Structure 1
Amino acid sequence: MSQRSFRRSIAIWLAALFAAYLALAYFAAPEFWTFRDRGFRTQHFEMVTHTPQGIPGDPINVGLVGTQKEVVHAFAVAGWDTADAVTLKTAIEIGESVLFDHPYPDAPVSRLLFDGRAQDLAFEKPVGAPAPRRDDGRVWETPCGGGGGRPRWGGSASFDRGVGLSHDTGAVTHHIGPDIDAERDFLMRDLATAGVLISTGDISGVGATSTGRNGGGDPYFTDGEAIVGILKQ
């Protein structure tokens, strides 16, 4: 076999392997999880998020009471950026941020479902230069009203420590740090320091968990409580 033919054969095999990986990670494995956990959408207002395939995701560990404008304003004053939407352009920008070690403060976050809906708003705070290390905050408006008739928001706060492969599907994803209570406290402390909170209180969340796993298969532990902050009007 000539060297040119050998290289062509290698290229074909690599392309076939890559296609097989894409089919497994982004089609077959997600379909398996969708079939396995197809009943999760009937569990109304469960205090945990899910991926679009039905894999349990990050717990709900924060809450806010305020209008959408007040929520956006509060995060902005606290130094958090609004996350971009997931598009081909933003995916390329994430890759450039990782490869060339430069900041991407508005990098997208993945979709998570709470009570059957994707997050209404997503915020982040970069840690260092590349996009993979950042503080994440997703929030969903809930049907439960807060004080003064203002909307109540459920949210999940976590720390993205780097990019890797999902332990459940093999797809590319961000891996979170295991101490989600520390991230919950960090977010609420940021909002308090920014002077946008009137008060805070604790409510029951998912319950004490020492062996939790999120949508990417990352382990986490928590005392199971959610902290709710009342935003200034």
Structure 2
Amino acid sequence: MNHTTLDPSRPRKRRLRRAWQLSLVLIGCYAILAYLALPMFWTHYEHQSKLADMPMVTRTAQGIPGDPINVGLIGDQHEVVCAILAANWHPADPITLRSSIAIAGSVLLDRPYPDAPVSSLYYLDRREDLAFEKPDGRSADRRNHVRLWKVLDSGQEGRPVWLGSATFDRGVGVSHYTGAVTHHIAPDIDAERDQFAADLEAAAMVDAKYQITGVGPTIAGRNGEGDLYYTDGEVWILRLTEGCKKRSSPAEILPSPLATEIKDQIFRTVTNAIEPGASAP
């Protein structure tokens, strides 16, 4: 009489194999959902279709992905400069030996330098066309700042289109990637985007505003210096008043698709859970 000896480890191996197979299926479903299906629902350029194929991240001089694009302006250069100056932001000085010494003195000695230079970032293979800042305190250690690139001579409204990256410098330190002395940015780049927009609106320089898809929802992004950032991934486009004339009523807000609004609400809930108040408007 033959007796078959059963391997007591076989059921356990089968369970492990099935668990591994199920894990692969779940990971695959997540990847399809997160990177293919859901972005198709909230990707939108209905108000500025010519921006659909443009990259939404800047680059450093070394080619490292830099700060994401998160703001845009509609208007010619005179209107852009006039609107930002009206919002009490200052044009950044060019980087020279003199300005480099001046910003070092500002940070070390806590001296005012509202026009301090900003490091260059690159978009569409060129450095920023314009850069502005607004100090947060006495020195250039902490400041709001924005870099802007003209990307279209004529957009959907028949006016020039600018894209930019607005971030908040929270202090001077050393780059996580290169070891160079640099400013570190605050992680909530949506807050700086919203601050820039609010300042221009408060100056009555905005006719209308709307969103387009930017870099996409990101919880653990890294810029060109290795600084952490998070964002709902939207770019707020501000249509400036023509001829730098002040608007007598609040800016019109053009609606985004429902899927985008739902995504933004979910993202705010997630970021507020991580850091309460981080994404408050």
Q: Could you say what secondary structure the match of 1:63 adopts?
A: strand
Take 1:170 and 1:199, find their aligned partners in 2: how far apart are those partners?
Answer: 42
**1:95 paired residue number:** 104
Indicate if the aligned counterparts of 1:65 and 1:147 stay in contact, CA closer than 8 A.
Answer: no
**2:201 paired residue number:** 192
Q: Does 1:76 align with 2:85?
A: yes
**Is the alpha carbon distance of 1:135 and 1:106 closer, same or farther for their aligned partners in structure 2, counting shifts above 3 Å?**
same
The structure richer in strand per residue is 1
Query: What is the aligned-residue RMSD (CA, Å)?
Result: 1.0
Take 2:226 and 2:132, find their aligned partners in 1: how far apart are those partners?
Answer: 22
Take 2:95 and 2:166, find their aligned partners in 1: how far apart are those partners?
Answer: 19
**2:59 paired residue number:** 50
- Segment drifting more, 141-150 vs 71-80: 141-150
**1:150 paired residue number:** 159
Extract unaligned runs of 5+ from structure 2: 1-52, 243-281
Take 1:146 and 1:200, find their aligned partners in 2: how far apart are those partners?
Answer: 14
Runs of 4+ that moved beyond 3 A: none
**2:125 paired residue number:** 116
Take 1:146 and 1:189, find their aligned partners in 2: how far apart are those partners?
Answer: 23
Take 1:214 and 1:156, find their aligned partners in 2: how far apart are those partners?
Answer: 11
The amino acid across from 2:186 in the alignment is: G
The amino acid across from 1:106 in the alignment is: D
Greater relative contact order, per chain length (Cα 8 Å cut-off, separation 6+): 1
Residue 95 of structure 1 and its aligned partner are, at CA, apart by 1.2
Q: Does 1:164 align with 2:163?
A: no
Residue 102 of structure 1 and its aligned partner are, at CA, apart by 1.2
Indicate if the aligned counterparts of 2:153 and 2:159 stay in contact, CA closer than 8 A.
Answer: no
Identity over aligned pairs, percent: 57
TM-score (ref. length: structure 2)? 0.66
Q: Does 1:224 align with 2:233?
A: yes
Residue 141 of structure 1 and its aligned partner are, at CA, apart by 0.2
State the aligned residue count.
190
Take 2:156 and 2:203, find their aligned partners in 1: how far apart are those partners?
Answer: 21
Counterpart among 210, 221, 230 of residue 219 in structure 2? 210
Take 1:148 and 1:203, find their aligned partners in 2: how far apart are those partners?
Answer: 15
**2:140 paired residue number:** 131
TM-score (ref. length: structure 1)? 0.80
Extract unaligned runs of 5+ from structure 1: 1-43
Q: Does 1:182 align with 2:178?
A: no
CA deviation profile, 1:119-146 (whole Å, cap 9, x unmatched): 0000000000111100011100003623
Residue 98 of structure 1 and its aligned partner are, at CA, apart by 1.4
Residue 67 of structure 1 and its aligned partner are, at CA, apart by 0.3
Q: Could you say what secondary structure the match of 2:177 adopts?
A: coil
